[in-house]
Amino acid sequence: MTSTAYSRPSKLPGGGGSERRPRLMRGFASKIEPKKLGIGLIAGCCLALLTYVSLAKLFAIYSPVFASTANTSALLQNSPPVSSKPSVPETEAIPPQETPAGGGDRGDAVDLPEGSEEPGLPEAAIRKDMAAAGSDEPGLPESLTRRKDDGENAAEPKPCKESHISALFDSEEGEQNPNGGVEGKMTCDENGVDEGFPYARPTVCELSGDIRVSPKQKTVYLVNPSGGGGFDASGEKKLRPYARKDDFLLPGVVEVSVKSTPSAAAAPACTKRHAVPAVVFSIAGYTDNFFHDMTDAMIPLFLTAGHLKGEVQLLITNYKPWWVQKYTPLLRKLSNYDPINFDEDDGVHCFASGFVGLYRDRDLILSPHPTRNPRNYTMVDFNRFVRGALALPRDAPAVLGEEPGMRPRMLIISRSGTRKLMNLDEVAKTAAELGFNVTVAEAGADVPAFAAQVNAADVLLGVHGAGLTNQIFLPTGAVVLQIVPWGKMDWMATNFYGQPARDMQLRYLEYYVGEEETSLKDKYPRDHTVFRDPAALHKQPIRWETFAEIIMKQDVSVNMTNFRPVLLQALDKLQQ
């Protein structure tokens, strides 16, 4: 019986005629039984399929779409798949970090760089500790679980925009990476002297390469086989990373050592790897004063890390939870990650670049500089930064005459301690009579709330002091009016508040208190140095404590006959 299952009738060219099987086919078919032929073909298909599957495993690309039903469900729920084993051994468990108030599920460390294009991977999966080994979590690729099979190194994380992590780190055992290691580099800006400014700047060091930060040891390790780069004879560089070089304060600042290590094996093993740069800094010193919070922390942070657009990890020494909470909106604008408490964290955090210390300029002043301000940031930029961080709506003050019956808003900053404006009520009444809508308030711990009050004002008035630092929240073009106390304080008034106001494109006015307007007249005779030669109190060897005790503890009561024209000038400036 002849089978036609695998053959097809064919006709010779020319159309009609009877079917005729080619001689070669007739001979082949006569020798092979159809049943055997079918079995052979089936076996051949199976062999081809097996070959395809074997080769496909070598080139397979993970996709959550084809994960198991259980794992796909977990991914859709933004939670890691259930595992019978912990992904991090208990001996290497990473303690939870303190997070600012309002913090969500942002992690302080990542194992893959931010912006990973792996579709559908939840944050919890991305943040798995890269130091973990032997995870048996089903459905996750090896790049996430850090498996080491047959002695092969696990895949390194992909590089991100700012931190080129790939191939920089050695494995936990310390062996050389495939590229033969990367030479560490440290450059330090130690030019702290600023002619015309009495406060020297602290040393700031910038590092790149294989960097391992051990908060517990107060040490930053730099894998640096050559041993060069500004280290002392013992291979160390010691810094106190507070952004004001004040001999009185520095002993209270945590000292951080940068150590040069000859190989990765000599450095502690990484427990967390970060795909963004690090910034190690201190919030010791005067940072419970709003002026110093800005000049010694926030502005230096902006100057050092603002260009990173949030892709930076902050590590804070002399950690104060209340301070971090107070400035959470600004810290969130500077960094997409929860800050690490450098005083309590016992992990080893690894980076490819970073800073120890903060660059700074003068107080509330930013000027172009090739090292500390290479991007030519200005106080206008910082003003926009804080307004954006706090979602402050106004970027311009009211203009007189634009709206009928509109009264410009004046915010008078009151003080409950020293340098009080004793006739504040009289000043507020006169300002209201001139056409201002007057509000009196004292700055408090709620920075966003007070910033909103300042941003709503067209004129900010206050006696010289930290409260005037709130001018950073004013809309561009608003007016700042500083009442300068007695005692030749023109340098301080200009450099601390006058010039910063101008640099932020604010309109600046000042009123200098006379001898009869200060409370010092009731405390010291007229032949005292404070009246006879007040400039002498600013000279060395007069200590700051002496100056502060005399000059900074006075109260003022302005002469309204002299002060009223200054209020009218503020109105005039709003018409310009």
Cα–Cα distance measured from residue 359 to residue 244, given in angstroms and rounded to the nearest whole number: 10
> Do 232 and 259 meet the contact criterion of CB atoms below 8 Å apart?
no
pLDDT band at 541 (very low <50, low <70, confident <90, very high): low
- Of the listed ranges 29-38, 85-94, 252-261, 323-332, the least confidently predicted one is 85-94
Given a cut of 90, whether residue 129 has pLDDT beyond it is no
DSSP 24-47: HHHHHHHHS-HHHHHHHHHHHHHH
pLDDT category at 105 given cuts 50, 70, 90 is very low
Max mean pLDDT among 130-144, 171-185, 365-379, 383-397 falls in: 383-397
Cα angle 210, 213, 219 (rounded to 5 degrees) comes to: 115
Give me the pLDDT at residue 340, please. 97
Give mean pLDDT, residues 54-80: 36
Residues 37-57 as b/e (b if ≥16 CB within 10 A, e otherwise) read eeeeeeeeeeeeeeeeeeeee
Which range is least confidently modeled, 163-167, 209-213, 311-315? 163-167
Which of 50-64, 237-251, 490-504 is the most confident on average?
Answer: 490-504
Give strand pairing partners of 282.
317
| Predicted local confidence at residue 369, as pLDDT | 87
Q: Which of helix, strand or coil describes residue 481?
A: strand
Q: pLDDT higher for 450 or 196?
A: 450
**In angstroms, rounded to a whole number, what is the distance separating the alpha carbons of residues 186 and 207?**
5
Q: Tell me which of 183-187, 387-391, 509-513 is least confident.
A: 183-187
State residue 44's pLDDT score. 74
Per-residue pLDDT band for 439 (boundaries 50, 70, 90) equals: very high
| 182 vs 377, residue with greater confidence | 377
Residue 20 has pLDDT above 50, yes or no: no
Average pLDDT over residues 253-268: 95
Residue recorded with tokens 């700012």: 162
Quick one: pLDDT band at residue 542, thresholds 50, 70, 90?
Answer: low
**pLDDT at position 83 over 90:** no
Say what percent of the chain tops pLDDT 90: 55
Torsion of CA 228, 229, 232, 238, to 10 degrees: -140
Q: Considering the chain, what is the average pLDDT of its residues?
A: 77
C-alpha pair distances (Å), 258 with each of 85, 204, 241: 37, 12, 12
Q: Which residue has the higher pLDDT, 215 or 75?
A: 215
Task: Report which of residues 280 and 575 the model is more confident about.
Answer: 280
424-427: long-range pairs with CB below 8 Å, 24+:
426/560, 427/461, 427/558, 427/560, 427/563
pLDDT over 70 for what percent of the chain?
A: 68
**pLDDT at position 371, please?**
84
pLDDT score for 246: 84
* pLDDT surpasses 80 at 53: no
pLDDT of residue 576: 76
List of domains in the chain: 185-377 (no CATH), 409-575 (3.40.50)
pLDDT above 70 (res 155): no
More confident position, 516 or 6: 516
Q: What was the pLDDT predicted at 135? A: 37
Confidence check: pLDDT of 376 > 50: yes
**Alpha-carbon span 6 to 21, nearest angstrom:** 14
Structure tokens belonging to residue 501: 């106001």
pLDDT (tens digit, 9 = 90+) per residue, 456-504? 999 999 999 999 999 999 999 999 999 999 999 999 999 999 999 999 9
- Phi and psi (nearest 5°) for 51? -60, -40
Average pLDDT over residues 32-42: 63
Helices (H), 299-353: 299-305, 321-326, 328-334
Query: Is the peptide bond preceding residue 404 cis, with omega within 30 degrees of 0?
Result: no
Residue 384: strand, helix, or coil: helix
Whether the model clears a pTM of 0.95, i.e. scores above it, the answer is no
Please tell me which of 41-45, 59-63, 120-124, 515-519 the model is most confident about, judged by mean pLDDT.
515-519
**Among 2-6, 375-379, 402-406, which stretch is predicted with the lowest mean pLDDT?**
2-6
List beta partners, residue 413: 441
Separation of alpha carbons 443 and 465, rounded Å = 11
Quick one: average pLDDT of 62-73?
33
**Spatial distance between the Cα atoms of 56 and 518, rounded to a whole number of angstroms:** 87
pLDDT at 203: 92
Sign of CA pseudo-dihedral 8, 12, 14, 17: negative
| Least confident stretch, 64-73, 100-109, 175-184, 534-543 | 64-73
3-state secondary structure 193-262: CCCCCCCCCCCEEEEEEEEEEEHHHCEEEEECCCCCCCCCCCCEEEECCCCCCCCCCHHHCCCEEEEEEC
